[in-house]
């Protein structure tokens, strides 16, 4: 691979750029963005070698699409129109069903690989790009059989050299499960932040009382609304289901408290401590 085009040089696109350049300094990383200021920043941070436009991807060996998922759905057919026969487009979106759907009948479907690297931080933009973000992380690949075999190989080799573990899944299963293990966490965090800000907005000193536990639980409430609004929109049905279950569990906890059933409160927590074993698997 010589010419890699990254559309969206923010946290994910920029971090990929950094690691790819490190792995192979011969590669030329071309950055594409809606905003000139983003490209200028990416260039000054040495994330990209050159600025480019969408027209230029006719020269691409690889195009990485790391933009909000609604824009991915809008642009992907047009990107596939432009990509050369030997080129591959890979996305990094947190939803997979709508993205796979929009290209299912595209004549160049074989030039696209649907992927979701489960990596990130709560920050965004080119300044948020960091080295080694993907090391040891999971990358979920959907509908791998629909991508040309040689292009699959090329992408998988890259993902592995970035240190990622590959898992295969269909887009529906991806969107359903990711709603639980990622999308719901973001909403629980955003609403926790909201609840506390509303209550305490006139008592700023109160936040002196907040410790590392609060910081950890609301960390995701710093996430980008530009990125997350389209994710919730595309995964609406699954996310609403997770919210229903989460709200019911909270209401039941509250009810146990109202009924002074602290044995039940104890058991709720004791049972959920099982999360320790699960988190050991993640860490």
5 forms beta bridges with 30, 63
The least distance separating its own copies from the CB of residue 259, rounded to whole angstroms, comes to: 11
Q: Are 128 and 121 in contact (CB under 8 A)?
A: yes
CB of residue 99 to its own copies, shortest distance in Å: 17
Per CB under 8 A, the list member of 75, 130, 144, 196 interacting with its own copies is 196
Which residue lies nearer to its own copies by CB, 50 or 194? 194
Can residue 38 be called a binding residue for its own copies (CB under 8 A)? Answer: no
138 binds its own copies (CB under 8 A): yes
CA atoms within 13 A on the CB side of 144: 15
- Kindly identify the residues of this chain, within the stretch 204-243, that bind its own copies according to CB under 8 A: 204-223, 225-226, 228-230, 232-233, 236, 239-240, 242-243
Q: With CB under 8 A, what is the number of residues at the site for its own copies?
A: 96
Rounded to the nearest 10 degrees, what angle do helices 225-234 and 236-258 cross at?
100
CA distance 253 to 130: 40
Q: How far apart are CA 191 and CA 221, in angstroms?
A: 8
Q: For its own copies, which residue of 22, 74, 104, 262 counts as binding (CB under 8 A)?
A: 262
- One character per residue 159-188, x = contact with its own copies (rule: CB under 8 A): ------x-x------x--xx-xxx-xxxxx
Exactly one of 46, 53, 170, 272 binds its own copies (CB under 8 A); that residue is 272
- Choices 39-47, 49-57, 115-123, 149-157 (CB under 8 A): range interacting with its own copies: 115-123
User: Where does this chain touch its own copies (CB under 8 A) — which range of 21-29, 104-112, 149-157, 272-280?
Assistant: 272-280
Decide: is 74 part of the binding site for its own copies (CB under 8 A): no
Phi, psi angle pair for 29, to nearest 5°: -95, 115
Give the span between the Cα atoms of 111 and 151, in whole angstroms: 7
Q: Which of 75, 118, 130, 148 binds its own copies (CB under 8 A)?
A: 118
Cβ-based nearer residue to its own copies, 107 or 213: 213
User: Per rule CB under 8 A, is residue 259 in the interface with its own copies?
Assistant: no
User: What's the rounded Cα separation, in Å, for the pair 245 and 238?
Assistant: 11
Q: Is 203 in the site for its own copies (CB under 8 A)?
A: yes
Q: How far is the CB of 264 from its own copies (least distance, A)?
A: 10
């Amino acid at each position: 691979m010589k010419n890699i085009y990254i559309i969206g040089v923010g946290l994910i696109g920029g971090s990929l750029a950094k690691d790819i350049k490190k792995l192979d300094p011969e590669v030329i990383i071309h950055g594409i963005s809606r905003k000139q200021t983003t490209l200028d920043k990416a260039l000054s941070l040495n994330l990209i070698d050159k600025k480019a436009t969408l027209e230029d991807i006719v020269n691409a060996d690889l195009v990485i699409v790391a933009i909000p998922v609604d824009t991915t759905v809008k642009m992907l057919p047009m990107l596939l129109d432009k990509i050369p026969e030997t080129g591959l487009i890979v996305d990094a979106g947190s939803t997979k069903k709508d993205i796979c759907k929009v290209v299912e009948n595209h004549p160049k479907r074989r030039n696209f690989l649907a992927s979701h690297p489960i990596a990130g931080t709560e920050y965004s933009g080119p300044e948020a790009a960091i080295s080694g973000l993907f090391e040891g992380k999971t990358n979920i690949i959907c509908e791998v059989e629909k991508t040309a075999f040689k292009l699959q190989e090329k992408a998988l080799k890259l993902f592995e050299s970035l240190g990622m573990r590959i898992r295969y899944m269909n887009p529906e299963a991806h969107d359903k499960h990711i709603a639980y293990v990622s999308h719901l966490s973001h909403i629980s965090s955003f609403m926790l932040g909201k609840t506390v800000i509303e209550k305490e907005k006139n008592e700023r000193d109160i936040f002196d009382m907040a410790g590392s536990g609060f910081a950890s639980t609301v960390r995701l409430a710093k996430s980008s609304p530009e990125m997350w609004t389209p994710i919730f929109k595309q995964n609406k049905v699954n996310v609403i289901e997770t919210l229903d279950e989460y709200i019911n569990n909270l209401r039941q906890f509250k009810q146990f408290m109202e009924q002074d059933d602290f044995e039940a409160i104890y058991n709720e927590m004791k049972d959920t401590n099982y999360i320790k074993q699960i988190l050991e698997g993640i860490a």
